[in-house]
Structure 1
Amino acid sequence: MTVLNKVNVEAQAIEAKKASKKLMVLSEVEKNDALLHLADVLEREYETILAANEKDLAAGREKGFTDAFMDRLSLSKERIADFAQGLRDVAKLDDPTGQVLSDWTLENGLQVEKVTVPLGVIGMIYEARPNVTVDATGLALKSGNAIVLKGGSNAINSNAAIVEVMHKGLEETKIPKEAVQFIASTDRAATNELFTMKEHIDVLIPRGGGKLIQAVVENATVPVLETGVGNCHIYIDKAADVEKAINILVNAKTDRPAVCNAAETLIVHKEWLAANRDALVSALQENDIQVHGDDHVLELIPGSVAAGEEDWSNEYLSTDIAVKSVDDVVEAIEHIEMYGTKHSEAIITEDGEAAQKFLALVDAAALYHNASTRFTDGGALGFGAEIGISTQKLHARGPMGLPALTTVKFLMKGTGQIR
């Protein structure tokens, strides 16, 4: 891949800005037709994408990347088919732009409308997750936005091939291919260029590990829609149903350990642990879950290792889990307040009062009562796809689908009114 210089990156951002003007006036039918065509082209050209992905995988094996990392990086015909289906699902959703949120008429006869419009140009900075290339593009185009993609260097061949295939498909649609820009550079300077392009980029969305997100938030002059790492907690309360609690814990920890909505910490009520220790230990052992526990947990769960301070805030992205024992729901909430990342938190209990206290007091984008944290996902919640999970509170919070990629305009229609 050719490392791009400042002029190249800026030129791509300018092209995206120009394309956004053309994109925002397209009809919903034209945008949907383009997404459906892109889905077909991705499925048809899967071999091109897999050949490029194998280059990234070979480099990853040579560098000794973890299994979790390789899983995020790895593509298959089936995964590409999932990407395509995601685009078809997005095409089925209502167009988020042009919606009249409210309207009223002033005493002087001036008519006012508050209407949704595209953000303009989205800068997407992400790590080794090729699926983001397709998901982010689909959501951006459907919501009338152009997008500038800067993926991680470890997936550069996969991402470049995906964008090349999508450009090929867009040439046969009403959407200009310039609306999708990919910065094919492994130079961090190229990423840094996006941080300060306020005149061309309307919003930056970082998606990846804590260091990446922190770097964007701290250095960008472009407005940032902050996504967050997932130190997600499962709290098993004293009144938790045993089968329900264990099933939810195992699912949240092992279904896909390398994703941000997987559980990283189990908080368990001491009375429940004492009464159901054997069932819990059996489930942990059967699923090869390594426990990092406090002193009380070390006494009751064989094979566990002592948890240090770093374990309570660690996003393992593996089958390791930190286990904290508590005396009540208040102590559980205090632990989450200290170490949580405001992503997804769950309480397992049959005590409605305890559940209500947890849901009311825990500060997070997504909260669950008797359900797995794995549902914090745009596709699972019916958004078609997601561009990220926001852990901030301004503009958007939680899984960000189409509505999060719009802003508003106030449109005033008069008959000559002056003030």
Structure 2
Amino acid sequence: MTSQSASPSMNPYDAMSPVAQAAYRARAAAADIAPLPRAAKDDALLAMADALEVRTAEIVQANAEDVAKAREAGTSESVVDRLTLTPERVRAIAADVRHVAALPDPVGEVVRGSTLPNGLDLRQVRVPLGVVGIIYEARPNVTVDAAALCLKAGNAVLLRGSSSAYASNTALVRVLRDAVGGAGLPADAVQLVPGESRDSVRELMRARGLVDVLIPRGGASLIRTVVEESTVPVIETGTGNCHVYVDAEADIDMAVDILINSKAQRVSVCNAAETLLVHQDIAPRFLPRALEALAEAGVTVHGDERVLPYAEGSKATVVPATAEDWETEYLSYDIAAAVVDSLDAAVAHIRLWTSGHTEAIVTTSQAAARRFTQLVDSTTVAVNASTRFTDGGQFGFGAEIGISTQKLHARGPMGLPELTSTKYIVTGDGHIR
């Protein structure tokens, strides 16, 4: 009987799905990037920023396809605004990448250290997380922010944006990979997860052992799905049902300015205010001016029964609030409003309805400010400042990876340190136990 020659061994990648292949490549890239010095990573980031500017026309052209499809599908203008890339926005994104390059490298930082009584030297140092998966909706700027921050922190990133931004994300990742590879780093440190169907999302969520952590960015439904269905550890980012509370002792001019900036400076973002709470003692002086200012900004007010009378004779558009309004993240020119009896009543309302993102108080009373900051448990509590400051860039962290509303590992705007873990290094001199 004639024996047959053995067939060549199959490449293990051949049996893997495209998503698994991408994850394996990311793990290999992460291992190569983790020990790199800061200079090598910064050179790659600067190359990314330069490439974004040089190839802006290519990026904007791809984005125009997504924007046209979104409008044809009847997508709201607030979502279209998030989706849109202009040459000015691309330049701003490139500037954010350069900002990240200028930030200190968190990898290798000693978090704490000591010499134990037995003479052992103990150090806890920051190390990369490894492979970070980002699942996000129609915001192509997240593609670049995530890639830059993950690379600076020594991680590889798997990017899964929504199908509505597929052309934009494909163009952006192509530009970023070319720049990273040209700088001498593995291009697979930045990858777009293959596929546009939900199957690729589900596979990414179940890639435990290949992906070290997932970070969802988007609406409540997306975040809830990732948190509930993922077997990969998740850092939960949250929706922004942010509140502005105008205290009895507020400066009215300041309060109006903060309210309008918090609500109307850009409505389609998670740190925009969605609810206004006004102390009953200042309501007769504040609300008429506030409603006029909101009307000039094009904002519709969903007011409770104590707010509605102040709309009589004004230009304001005020409609009766429903129970759903108190929990809604509008992301539009709408705001819920209520008059409350006291600071404690405002805190009780916030505790009941907040998403835990950002709350602001406007007051000249240090005692009121101190009590509000002590009682409100959100990622950020602002005193006499707009809710719009809750942002990694505004906090000096560089382009944030997201705003975490959980309490484990990371909370609030997530910069470079939040994209690292730690390990202990124990050094002895022949020590045995």
Give the unaligned 5+ runs of structure 2: 1-14
Distance in structure 2 (CA, Å) of the matches to 1:295 and 1:385:
41
Q: Is the 8 A contact 1:160 1:184 kept in 2?
A: no
Give me the whole-angstrom Cα distance separating, in 2, the residues matched to 1:200 and 1:377. 30
Q: Match for residue 256 of structure 1? A: 266
Structure 1 segments of 4 or more deviating over 3 A?
A: none
Structure 2 distance, partners of 1:14, 1:182, is 13
Match of 1:244 in 2: 254
Structure 1: runs of 5 or more not aligned: none
Answer yes or no: is 1:162 the counterpart of 2:176. Answer: no
1:6 Cα deviation after fit? 6.7
- The two structures have a TM-score, normalised by structure 1, of 0.97
Q: CA deviation at 1:108?
A: 2.9
Return the match for 1:182 from 192, 211, 236: 192
1:142 is aligned to 2:152: yes
The answer to whether structure 1 residue 216 and structure 2 residue 226 are counterparts is yes
Checking the alignment, whether the CA contact within 8 Å between 2:18 and 2:194 is kept in structure 1 is no
1:39 aligns with 2:49: yes
Tell me the equivalent position of 1:342. 356
1:50 is aligned with what amino acid? V
Which letter maps to 1:291?
V
Following superposition, the deviation at residue 299 of structure 1 comes to 1.6
| Letter of the 1:185 counterpart | G
1:387 matched residue in structure 2: 401
d(CA) in 2 for partners of 1:130 and 1:53? Answer: 9
- Quick one: which amino acid aligns to residue 422 of structure 2? V
Residues 74-83 or 276-285, more deviating: 276-285
Report what 2:6 is aligned to: none
Aligned residue number for residue 17 of structure 1:
27
Aligned residue number for residue 325 of structure 1? 339
Task: Report Cα offsets for 1:233-289 as digits up to 9, x if no partner.
Answer: 000111110100000000010100000000000001122111233322221221111
Work out whether residues 288 and 310 of structure 2, in 8 Å CA contact, stay in contact via their aligned partners in 1. no
Matched residues in 2 for 1:163 and 1:47: separation?
Answer: 15
Whole-Å Cα distance in 1 between the matches of residues 56 and 209 of structure 2? 36
User: Are 1:409 and 2:419 matched, yes or no?
Assistant: no
Determine the C-alpha separation between the residues in 1 that align with 2:16 and 2:133. 16
Residues 194, 200 of structure 2: 8 Å contact kept? no
Using the alignment, how far apart are the partners of 2:179 and 2:121 within structure 1? 42
Alpha-carbon distance in structure 1 between the residues aligned to 2:291 and 2:271: 23
Equivalent pairs, count: 415
Aligned partners of 1:270 and 1:184: how far apart in 2? 55
Q: Percent identity?
A: 49
Query: TM-score, normalising length from structure 2?
Result: 0.94
Are residue 361 (structure 1) and residue 375 (structure 2) matched? yes
Aligned match for 2:292, one of 251, 268, 282:
282
Aligned equivalents of 1:287, 1:41: Cα separation in 2: 37
What is the letter of the counterpart of residue 213 of structure 2? V
Query: 1:196-235 counterparts in 2 under 5 A?
Result: 196-235=206-245
Deviation string, structure 1 residues 125-166 (Cα, Å, up to 9, x no partner): 000000000000000000000000000111011001000011
Query: Which residue of 1 is the match for residue 135 of structure 2?
Result: 125
Listed as ranges, the matches of 1:261-276 within 5 Å are: 261-276=271-286
Change (3 A) 1:240 1:6: farther
RMSD: 1.1
Cα distance in 2, alignment partners of residues 405 and 281 from structure 1: 42
Larger radius of gyration: 2
